[in-house]
Amino acid sequence: MGLGQGPGRDHLSASPAGPIFDAYHAVRARLPRPTAGGACTPVDTLADIADRFDTFLLDAFGVLNVGETPIPGARDRVHALRDAGKRVLIVSNAAGLPHAALMEKYDGMGMGFAPEDVITSRMALTNALADAPPTRWAAMATSGAGLEDLAPTLLRDDPAAYDAAEGFLLIGSADWTDARQALLEASLRAHPRPVHVGNPDIAAPREDAPSREPGHWAHRLADATGVAPVFHGKPFAGIYDLAFARSGDAGRTVMVGDSLHTDILGAQVAGVASALITSHGILRDHDVAAGIALSGIRPDYVVRTT
């Protein structure tokens, strides 16, 4: 099954806002409700709104990079904002890699972020579960590195591992398969247990075709089993609380991202301004105005490029 083709979504027809937009739109009942939103003021780059904010929260995929490739001009923009005295943080639905590995990627792009200035949905997940009672977790994850506190069993192809778990963590889906998803859904149907999602993204833009992220599988299992997953990361509040704890203040802050349903909706939930990047990520080559109208998620600014 591809994006937007989960159970119960066969009625879905393609919109001019593109397939990733459509996949989010199909699950909007599980997302926060949009506010009245912003004016969708068009601007060319983030330089045009730099004077209006002290803190820039930047999404990564679609704003700084596409897959492993930096977006042209993004590195220079980050440095120019910092040189102008702005606080610049990454706020990313990234959960698959331990923090040090993620930092290697950004260091390689010359972005100059301190590890503390990169706030991830993995942190939101681990922070939310830090005080949970001891639980036998099992995880959709490529590796257990950095997850020692939760000590999950890594889910592979043994059905017994699914049935033995007391709760599930959906963290990284790089080597997840339809067969493993079927094992998870069968186990949950027989015995419903909590499911925590460390990355609510349904898809991430890559160089060739979008990848299926943990959110894709979470919505699919919710459709199939009736279990309601708990999401950690944009557009839900916890990740923003971590960002504000780091920036020290939610005032004069703008969230910049390419996804209406995660970045812009998340900014509304967090009570900060929002800027939608249109040239690189989810809405690239699609009808941005149609996406805004269909979703009812209205950013303050519509920005051509970072």
Rounded to a whole number of angstroms, the minimum distance from the CB of residue 248 to Mg ion is 25
The C-alpha atoms of residue 231 and residue 197 are separated, in whole angstroms, by 5
- How many chain residues interact with Mg ion (CB under 5 A)? 5
Establish if 61 lies at the interface with Mg ion (CB under 5 A).
yes
The C-alpha atoms of residue 202 and residue 32 are separated, in whole angstroms, by 16
Rounded to a whole number of angstroms, the minimum distance from the CB of residue 255 to Mg ion is 11
Rounded to the nearest 10 degrees, the angle between the axes of helix 288-295 and helix 19-26 is 0
Nearer to Mg ion, 22 or 258 (CB): 258
List Cβ neighbours of 247 (8 Å cut-off, separation of 6 or more). 55, 57, 87, 89, 253
Rounded to a whole number of angstroms, the minimum distance from the CB of residue 227 to Mg ion is 27
- Which residues sit opposite 203 in a β-bridge? 212
Rounded to a whole number of angstroms, the minimum distance from the CB of residue 155 to Mg ion is 26
The only residue of 62, 96, 146, 233 in contact with Mg ion, by rule CB under 5 A: 62
CB 21 within 8 A of CB 262: no
Rounded to a whole number of angstroms, the minimum distance from the CB of residue 106 to Mg ion is 14
Establish if 301 lies at the interface with Mg ion (CB under 5 A).
no
Find the residue with minimal CB distance to Mg ion. 62
Nearest Cα residue to 184 out of 205, 210, 143, 156: 156
Of the candidate spans 77-85, 120-128, 218-226, 280-288, the one that interacts with Mg ion by CB under 5 A turns out to be 280-288
The only residue of 258, 260, 267, 276 in contact with Mg ion, by rule CB under 5 A: 258
Establish if 213 lies at the interface with Mg ion (CB under 5 A).
no
Of the candidate spans 18-26, 53-61, 117-125, 144-152, the one that interacts with Mg ion by CB under 5 A turns out to be 53-61
Rounded to a whole number of angstroms, the minimum distance from the CB of residue 160 to Mg ion is 37
Establish if 59 lies at the interface with Mg ion (CB under 5 A).
yes
Chain-centre distance of CA 29, in angstroms? 17
Nearer to Mg ion, 32 or 194 (CB): 32
Of the candidate spans 1-9, 120-128, 231-239, 281-289, the one that interacts with Mg ion by CB under 5 A turns out to be 281-289
Nearer to Mg ion, 62 or 146 (CB): 62
The C-alpha atoms of residue 170 and residue 231 are separated, in whole angstroms, by 9
Nearer to Mg ion, 187 or 253 (CB): 253
Rounded to a whole number of angstroms, the minimum distance from the CB of residue 169 to Mg ion is 22
Establish if 185 lies at the interface with Mg ion (CB under 5 A).
no
Rounded to a whole number of angstroms, the minimum distance from the CB of residue 151 to Mg ion is 30
The C-alpha atoms of residue 43 and residue 40 are separated, in whole angstroms, by 9
Binding site for Mg ion (CB under 5 A): 59, 61-62, 258, 281
